[in-house]
Structure 1
C-alpha cells in the first residue's frame, strides 16, 4: 500500500479520534506533510518507538500506540510463560498525551486478558524499570520521548528483567507489530471494564518507598554525607519533568539537607516553557540553575531530563564560574569515586560502557583492577549484560555509563537512572568538599593520573524522507572511505558494526567484532584517538563522536578541534 492509499484509509475511517480528524483536515492540502505522516511506520530504535505527535502511521497517536501495544501483547502471549497473570507495568512522563497513551496500552492488553499496573501519576523511567522487577511483571512500557522537543512522545518497551528490549527480542516484537494489518481496528477494553475485571491496578506509593529503600544501598560513605549534610549546597532543576519528588525524596533519605529548587522549572510542563530544549546535555538548560547557583553559592547544580533517566551536573571552575560537565567527565568521576570507596572489589568486577563513551573510563577501571566491557550505543545493551551476569552467575556489576548523560550504580534498576546518579554525584561532591577539593580539581587529578582525554559530539538534524536519504548517503561515504588519514591522525583500524568486521589498515587483515549488527562505523586512529558515526535510532539525526588523548589539556583541545573540523566538513559536502 502506498502512502496515498494509507492516508485515504485514515481519512475515510468513520470513528477516527475527533482531535486527530481535526489535525488531519488541517494538513489535507499539504502533500509533503501528508507524505511524511503516512509514507512509513514508526519503528523501534535504540530507545523504542518515538515520533512527532499527530495523525498518520509515522506519528505518535492512539492508533500507533495501540499497534505497538498489540504487537507487545502478541509477543507476550507467544513467548513469556504466564504473561497474562504476571501482567505489564506502565508509567508515563509529563508530555502531551502521555497518560492517555498509557491507558490506551492497558486497553489493548486487557483485550488479551493481560493485567496492567499503571502508576497513579507521572513517574521517572527508572521507576518503571524498578516496578517491572519489584512486581515481577512480564514486561513494562514507558510513555516518554525523553529529552526530545515538546511535539514528540514515545513508547519504550521493557522486558521482564526491567531492561529495554535488546535487538533479538525487539525484532520479535517488531514482527508482531508489523503483522497488525489495521491499526485503526484493534480490539480494546474500556477503563471501567478493565477495572471491573481486575485487569487494571493503579500503583501507589508502595513501589516508590521500595525504590527509596534500595537507593540507600548505593551510598558508599555515609559519614561524609553526615559531615557535609548542612555545608554542601545543592541546586536542583527537574526541567519541568518527573524528577521533582523522586530526587528530593532521595536526597532527604540519604541525609542531604541544603537543597534549593529552581522553582520556575519545578512543575511538570509539556511545553518545557523555560528552556529551548529539556535536555541537560545542552548547556542552555542550566541557565536558571546557574542563576540560582550564583545566588546560593552552590557547590553543585543537578538537572534531569523529562523522564529522569539522564542527569547533567554543573560545578565551579578555577575562576569560580559554573561549567557543565560532559557526560564522559561526570561518568568517569563517579566511576572513580564508586571504585575508590568500595572496600572489597570483587575479582569478577565489571564496568560497562558503550563504544562511543570515553576511553578514560577504561583507564580508571584498569587502575582499580576492574574489567571493562563494551556494548553498542544504547543502555539496553548494558542492561542485557547485567542480565547475563545474573543468569551465568559470573560478573559483578560495579558501574555502567554512556556519554549521553546516562549512568547506573545499583543493579536494582536495569536502565540509566538519574535519581541514582544524582545521589552519587552529590555524595561525591560532599567527599571532595570534605577533602578541600572541588569536583573540577578532582577531574584534573584524574587527567594527571590517566592522561588528558577529551571528547566531542556533532549532530546533524535532517528531518523527513529527504533527511533520511541524506543520512544514508553520509554513512555510505564513510563506509567507502579510502583515505589513510582523518584530521591530523592516521587511521589504524576501521570497525563496521553493520558487517561486524574490524579491518586493520596496515596489512588489510580483518577480524570479527563480537557485538550485534548495527548501523555504526568507527575509525580508530593513532595516538588513542577515534571517530564514530551513527544515525540516531530515535531522532532524525546523524551523530558523530570524537575522542582524543594527549599529555596536556591544551594539546587535546587543539587535536580534537582539527579532527572535528575535518570530519564535519566532509559530512556537509556530501
Structure 2
C-alpha cells in the first residue's frame, strides 16, 4: 500500500477520494450524488467499528457502511498485521467464507482478492459456508486468519465481517484496536492491490488460491460427530434452517447419528437472503419460531431445533408434557447441556464457562460435578481466549456458552457452533427417551435439585439529541452512588467492571475483578436476584439482564417461578425509573 501526505483532507475531499477509489459502481454513484448535494457526513461519521463479533452494518457508501471499498481497506490492514505478527503468514494463508445474504459472496470475493494482492495464500469455499465451518477450517488448515462475511441474525439489509486470528479464535483487544487505528489512519484514496482468482496461479505475489469443498465439510462433520453405538430409540426431530446456510450440515450430522427422523420447515429450508417468512431472522425474536413449533406439534416431534442464518447459534424448543411447546432460553439449554456433558466427561481438570451476563446456575452444576467454573466478558472471543490460557496450564474445556443461544460443545471449533450443538441436543433427547423421561422433565429436575433459574432481558431506550449523554450520566450515577435497594430488595454487592472492582454498596470490602475493563455494572440483590446493566454500543439504549436463582430443594417450582417472574418485573420497573428520566 502507498499513503498520501500527513495533512488530513476535508470531509468532501475525503469523500471524493473514497468515491474515486471505490470499485463498486453502485456505491460510487450513490456517494457521488451525496457529494453533489454536500451531504456526506453520515457516510463517514461514525465509521463502523469492531464490536462483539467484528464489523456489522447497513450496506452503503463510505466507512460508516458495509461496502467493497471498506472490505478492501480493512482486509489490507489485516494482511499488514498478519505479515508483521504471524510467522509464515503468507504460506499459512487466510480462509474466507460467506453466508447467503445479498452481497456477502461479492464482498468475500473482494476480501479474497485483497488477501491475494497482499501476498498471502487464499483458501475459499465452493459455496456458502456456515460460520462454524470457517472457524473449524481456520484451525484445521492452520491458517494465519479466518474471515466470514456474515451479519448472522441481523435483518436482511445488514452485512458483516468477522475475523478469526491465528489460533482460530475471534480477535480481541488490542488486536482489533490496532486494526481500527490503522484503518482510521489509512488515506481514503490509497491504492490497494487486487489479484483475482484467475490471475493468482500466474502471479508471483500470491502463493496460492485454493478452493475447498466436500473434503473439508466431511472433515468438519467427523470432528463434531457424536458416534452412537446403538441408534435407539428412534427420535423425531423438527428443524428449521431459518433461510440460512447450516441446513446441509445439520442434515448430514444428524444422519450420521442414525435413527433420527428429521422433519423440516420446508418454507425455511433453502438459503435465502430475503428471509421471506420471518420479520427478523433471529431465533430469539418473538414469533420467529412459530412455524417450527407448529410443525413440531403437527408431527408429534420430541425436540425442535433451529439454527440461525449463519449456523453458529441454536434455538431449542421442547414439549412440556401439557400440550404446549416451550422455547428454551439460552441459559436453560446451557444448563441442560452443561449438566449432560459434565456427566459424560472422563478427563482430569475439566472446566466449564459462561459469560458474566449468563446464568450462575452453571456454577452450581459445576460444583456438584467437581468441575472448574469461570465466567468471562460477553462474547466467545473472551470465552476462548481464557479457555486457551487455562488449557496451557493443563486444564481441559468441557463446555462453554453465552445466554444468547450460543454454545460450544467441541474443542475443534473455537467459537459457538449451532451445528455441533444440534448433534449434542439430539443425543441428549435420545438418552432421556431411553431413560423413560424427556429433556423438559430433566430441566425441571435440575431446578429442583440445584435451584430454579429464571431469566429476563429488558432494553431501555432513551430519546433526544442528548440521549447518549444522559444514559452515560445515569450509569455514572449508579456507579458513584449505588442504591441501597431495588424494588425493596437490598443491594448486597456491586460489581463495577469499569473500575474492575467489586465491593459493598458503601464501597467497603473491595476486591478486584480479574477481567478487562468493560462498561458493565452488576448488582447482587437479596432474595437470589442478580442484575447486569450495560449500554448498547450502537444506540442510546441500556441492556439489562435479570436473574432469579433460587435455593435448591423447591417442592413447588410452579409457584416459585410465578413469584420469581413477578419479582423480576418489579425490579425491571424500578430500574427503568432509576435509569431513564422517569420520576
- Normalising by the smaller structure, the TM-score range is over 0.9
1:231-380 mapped onto 2 (5 Å cutoff): 232-342=235-345, 344=346, 346-380=347-381
| Residues 280 and 540 of structure 1: CA distance in aligned 2, closer, same or farther (over 3 Å) | farther
| Residues 566 and 25 of structure 1: CA distance in aligned 2, closer, same or farther (over 3 Å) | farther
Q: Distance in 1 between matches of 2:22 and 2:176?
A: 31
| Residues 12 and 183 of structure 1: CA distance in aligned 2, closer, same or farther (over 3 Å) | closer
| Residues 566 and 88 of structure 1: CA distance in aligned 2, closer, same or farther (over 3 Å) | same
Per the alignment, in what secondary structure is the counterpart of residue 45 of structure 1? coil
Alignment pair present for 1:136 and 2:156: no
Structure 1 partner of 2:5 = none
Q: Which of 11, 18, 33 is equivalent to 2:25? A: 18
| Residues 38 and 249 of structure 1: CA distance in aligned 2, closer, same or farther (over 3 Å) | same
Alignment pair present for 1:115 and 2:121: yes
Return the offset for 1:174.
2.7
Per the alignment, in what secondary structure is the counterpart of residue 283 of structure 1? coil
Structure 2 partner of 1:44 = 50
Q: Which runs of 5+ in 2 are unaligned?
A: 1-7, 555-559
Give the alignment's Cα RMSD to 1 decimal.
2.5
Q: Is the 8 A contact 1:49 1:538 kept in 2?
A: no
Any idea what the Cα deviations from partners look like across 1:136-191, whole Å, max 9, x if unmatched? 11111111111111111111110111111122332233333333222663232233
Structure 1 partner of 2:12 = 5
Q: Is the 8 A contact 2:460 2:580 kept in 1?
A: no
Any idea what the Cα deviations from partners look like across 1:534-558, whole Å, max 9, x if unmatched? 2345787542111112352222222
| Residues 99 and 468 of structure 1: CA distance in aligned 2, closer, same or farther (over 3 Å) | farther
Q: Which of 194, 204, 214 is equivalent to 2:213? A: 204
| Residues 534 and 256 of structure 1: CA distance in aligned 2, closer, same or farther (over 3 Å) | farther
More displaced, 86-95 or 457-466?
457-466
| Residues 465 and 273 of structure 1: CA distance in aligned 2, closer, same or farther (over 3 Å) | farther
1:414-453 mapped onto 2 (5 Å cutoff): 414-453=414-453
Per the alignment, in what secondary structure is the counterpart of residue 420 of structure 1? helix
| Residues 87 and 15 of structure 1: CA distance in aligned 2, closer, same or farther (over 3 Å) | closer
Q: Is the 8 A contact 1:45 1:538 kept in 2?
A: no
| Residues 318 and 60 of structure 1: CA distance in aligned 2, closer, same or farther (over 3 Å) | same
| Residues 102 and 425 of structure 1: CA distance in aligned 2, closer, same or farther (over 3 Å) | same
Per the alignment, in what secondary structure is the counterpart of residue 245 of structure 1? helix
Q: Is the 8 A contact 1:149 1:277 kept in 2?
A: yes
Q: Is the 8 A contact 2:358 2:403 kept in 1?
A: yes
Return the offset for 1:11.
7.3
Any idea what the Cα deviations from partners look like across 1:35-54, whole Å, max 9, x if unmatched? 33221221111111111111
Q: Which of 171, 179, 192 is equivalent to 1:186? A: 192
Q: Is the 8 A contact 2:524 2:530 kept in 1?
A: yes
Aligned length: 564
Q: Distance in 1 between matches of 2:208 and 2:527?
A: 59
Q: Distance in 1 between matches of 2:149 and 2:339?
A: 33
Return the offset for 1:30.
8.5
Alignment pair present for 1:556 and 2:560: no
Alignment pair present for 1:495 and 2:501: no
Q: Is the 8 A contact 1:235 1:292 kept in 2?
A: yes
Q: Which of 141, 161, 175 is equivalent to 1:169? A: 175
More displaced, 238-247 or 285-294?
285-294
More displaced, 286-295 or 481-490?
481-490
Alignment pair present for 1:92 and 2:104: no
More displaced, 36-45 or 155-164?
36-45
Q: Is the 8 A contact 1:2 1:39 kept in 2?
A: no
Q: TM-score, normalised by structure 1?
A: 0.92
